[in-house]
Amino acid sequence: MALTSIGEETYSARHPLLQKNKFGGGCRSSSEEEATSKALFRVVGMTCSACAGPVEEAIKRLRGIHEAVIDVLNNQAQVLFNPNFVNLEKICETIQDAGFEASLIENEANETSTKVCRIRINGMTCSSCSSTIERVLRVTNGVQRAHVSLALEEAEVHYDRRLVGHDKLLDEIESVGFVALLISTGEDLSKIDLKIVGECVDESIKTLLEALPGVQSVEFHHGTDKIISVLYKHDVTGPRSFIRVFGGTKLKATIFSAGEEGRESQRQVEIKKYYNSFLWSLVCTVPVFLTAMVFMYIPWINHLLMFKVINMLNAGEIIRCVLATPVQFFIGWRFYYGSYKALRRGSANMDVLVALGTNAAYFYSLYSVTRAATSPGFKGEDFFETSSMLITFILLGKYLEVMAKGKTSDAISKLMKLTPDTAILLTLDNEGKVTGEEEIDGRLIQKNDVIKILPGDKVASDGYVIWGRSHVDESMMTGEAKLVAKRKGDTVIGGTLNANGVLHVKVTKVGSESALAQIIRLVESAQLAKAPAQNLADTISKFFVPLVISFSLLTWLVWFFAGKLHWYSESWIPASMDRFELALQFGISVMVVACPCALGLATPTAVMVGTGVGASQGVLIKGGQALEKAHMVNCIVFDKTGTLTMGKPVVVKTKMLKNMTLGEFYELVAATEVNSEHPLAKAIVNHAKEFRDDQENPAWPQARDFLSITGNGVKATVKGREIMVGNKDLMSQHGVNIPEDAEEMLAEAEERAQTGILVSVNRELTGVLAVSDPLKPSARAAISVLKSMNIASIMVTGDNWGTANAIAREVGIDSVMAEAKPKQKAEKVKELQAAGHVVAMVGDGINDAPALVAADVGIAIGAGTDIAIEAADIVLMKSNLEDVITAIDLSRKTFSRIRLNYVWALGYNLIGIPIAAGVLFPWTHLRLPPWFAGAAMAASSVSVVCSSLLLKNYKRPKMLDNLEICEVLVERNLSNN
């Protein structure tokens, strides 16, 4: 039974402002109507209706504006306008002139203008960097949303391609001092990066590539590696064609991935760079440390070191100065450069703290040795060991941090390794016979290629079987550990495992179009999206470094003047220092002990690991916001069909009320229902095939004037007769009389948790069908577990009350809403939210999409429709109800880890800064030397990342293992019966 496509209804549910009645029934001429476009803007900064008034008035003053409605609650403005007189950019500027930030969300005239691109960003060190890039991108005209991940070192940008291009986005990022590399354009084009090996790479190569059909643009990236980026239409050309271009030259081209492979390559370069820097720094620092802290206790060595070379300048100071200088200015150059970039863009980061702290120690030491060399009586102390040891420990910390951060994105690496490295490409003649085969790099597969899949090999790309029979293990996608039979015409998915036969597969989807690539993109987007909890770190990072610098100067001044005014005893001062040097050490320690990096990494690293673990468990969580909301859920609304039930209904009984053969009856019914995507419709069509000789692929009569009535059924004209298939409401609306025996069968079906379906021919009730959709084996146990977690369960379904109540009793749900249309499902969710519940909606159908969007957390069954999966926040790939529990439990564990990370990061700074400032010194004489403070700062970031990595050990609740065993046993019993 069809429930219709709810295109407009779903759209309105997503964006309440787009509902037609918001603008009333204003009349316009047809010519004016033709020149009307509708656009939705995001307006940031409105707090009350007093803010909305000026915005609305400013927009309406523009020529060509038909109407403007401001929604303060959702920070949105919808505008009806004539594009002949005013454009989107002008409207956006007008809102900004009124004092608010504005960006385009959707434009009815061209919804496809919104694109999403991913950009890799090198050079970020803390959350201050990522916040700066986000701020720059968001104020760029045409950018709707921008998410920058410090941990993933990537940005995801939603932009209007009519207002801005990805080249402009890269320029904006590089303008604030970072290196940006495009990973994907988000447009209807594929992008590939080729690494060129050879001496002479000139414009002739670019010309040759651009001459290929389907190539849109070619761009050179000159650097350590010679990279050429090619944008092309995958339907026309592909990577093999590009490689062939180099066959006639002295150059060699290989595929270079700017995605995970590129990120891993960059990470390895970064790891090696930090390792080498640390090693050289250590070589110079160890002698500095020994001459300053150890050799003084060895008399004969100390005597040599104290030998006066010029005036009071001794040999030890010269050694320390010579060795500390390259550490400060060559090895430590990255901190100067990072500080310059940060200060140039009006912010401050960790590099600023390190540069200030080490410079204070180094230049004071330089002053000290200069005075000693020019004065016969000056006695000073140098801090060369402080500056060099600071840099050494911080480099060690960064090296360990980069190593640990690389492990947080293992989920994507594992997903990418599912596809084979090589594939067997077949050459066919005009008759389709195989004339040759060749083993190629799996990344060189193009659309419409025919590839050979041997037993035990992985399927190299999405496509369909054109020859052969086999069984394929699709557990990678479905989570079900059983083999699926494949023969000619069946689809196969890239990354799945061919078990026993040989298959010839025609490739239909490559690159970003493939199912696996879409899952990878979903996980990547999830890891890029910020959790609301990250806002705390972003807010703190804006003020953190300036406050630390201020507190550091205050610490130095307090201790300096306390010494000058003799507020403390001279016995407090170490023998090797004076009052100024003691105060300076306290000030430097405060500056370098503070760590903004730990705060910036607390949330994104935990979210990355959490979403990665979820993906490995078959639970795809679309970002930090979904993860954060899920841990607060206290009420779950379940759809029935395909969610609580198996979603594979079967016709169990047919009652004829008119004199008609079953074959003729089901021919008329199937011809009508074959146009619907509803599970019940598919069950009826499958049952109808039993009465046909051509069961495999029957040709049903043509249905004319097909109409799907949401929540009621379908109507069409077949063989000149009006056929209606649906519920009692549908029949009542069209004046069809329902006899008593039909009523009895409907009641009997409801008592047995079956769905009764009425069929009328020419408005006379002709037959009644009973369709049964068995419960999922784990449904009752899953509801029971949710109750033990203090989560209420509610069932909302479009089915009749009798069937709904019977199913609810069977699974243990007390609250039921039946015969609900899509809009009513969404209203029920909003009603629960208004009552104070944090609501999750679990569904699988098109009719569930409005409720999935309205819910705080939308959870889609993986076997459901594309629209439901698109609307949801969480997708259960295995379609198992126990994964709802896994998703909620994982979100709770992840946010428990985030809280722990914040406690560690904030607690570290709250405890470390006062100790470094000398708060305990008057009572304990305990000082935190600057070099030790630097080591502690480096250790804090590593500790936070390692804390997040502990999520990799996540185990789903043990009770779910028992559920899974029960489910397998029930399935076996069903199959045996």
The owner of tokens 């603008």 is: 23
User: Which residues, 6 or more positions from 661, have their beta carbon under 8 angstroms from its beta carbon?
Assistant: none
Q: Are 859 and 886 in contact (CB under 8 A)?
A: no
Q: What is the CA radius of gyration of the chain?
A: 34
Active site (annotated) includes residue 814: no
The owner of tokens 């307090």 is: 558
Query: Which stretch of DSSP H or E encloses residue 367?
Result: helix 350-374
User: Which residues, 6 or more positions from 628, have their beta carbon under 8 angstroms from its beta carbon?
Assistant: 531, 532, 533, 891, 895
Whole-number Å distance between alpha carbons of 552 and 831: 53
| Type of residue found at 558 | V
Q: Which of 533, 557, 661 is nearest to 607 (CA)?
A: 533
Torsions phi, psi for 786 (to 5 deg): -60, -40
Whole-number Å distance between alpha carbons of 495 and 418: 5
The owner of tokens 């080591």 is: 935
| Type of residue found at 383 | F
CA 437 to chain centre: 39
Whole-number Å distance between alpha carbons of 540 and 349: 12
The owner of tokens 């204003």 is: 26
| Type of residue found at 125 | T
DSSP state of 641: I
Q: Are 952 and 894 in contact (CB under 8 A)?
A: no
Q: Residue 597 corresponds to which tokens in the numbers above?
A: 């990096």
- Sign of the torsion angle spanned by Cα atoms 522, 525, 526, 532: negative
Which residues of 352-461 form beta strands (DSSP E)? 422-428, 434-441, 450-453
Whole-number Å distance between alpha carbons of 321 and 610: 48
Instruction: Strand 470-473: give its sheet, edge to edge.
Output: 483-486, 470-473, 497-498
DSSP state of 62: S
Instruction: Strand 190-197: give its sheet, edge to edge.
Output: 215-221, 226-232, 190-197, 252-256
Q: Residue 442 corresponds to which tokens in the numbers above?
A: 């799996």
Q: Are 388 and 413 in contact (CB under 8 A)?
A: no
The owner of tokens 């991940």 is: 149
CA angle, 330 then 333 then 339, to 5°: 165
How many CB atoms lie under 10 A from the CB of residue 286?
Answer: 15
Which residues of 844-962 form beta strands (DSSP E)? 857-861, 874-876
C-alpha distances in angstroms, 391 versus 45, 352, 433, 548, 933?
42, 13, 67, 19, 11
Q: Which of 91, 113, 112, 115 is nearest to 103 (CA)?
A: 91
DSSP state of 775: B
Q: Which of 517, 425, 415 is nearest to 239 (CA)?
A: 425
Q: Residue 645 corresponds to which tokens in the numbers above?
A: 């039930």
Whole-number Å distance between alpha carbons of 565 and 571: 15
β-pairing, 839-843 vs 462-467, is unpaired
Report helix, strand or coil for 55: helix
Q: Are 619 and 561 in contact (CB under 8 A)?
A: no
The residue from 639, 848, 856, 873 that is catalytic is: 639
CA 641 to chain centre: 29
Please list the residues that pair with 59 across neighbouring strands: none
Query: Which residues have a catalytic role annotated?
Result: 639
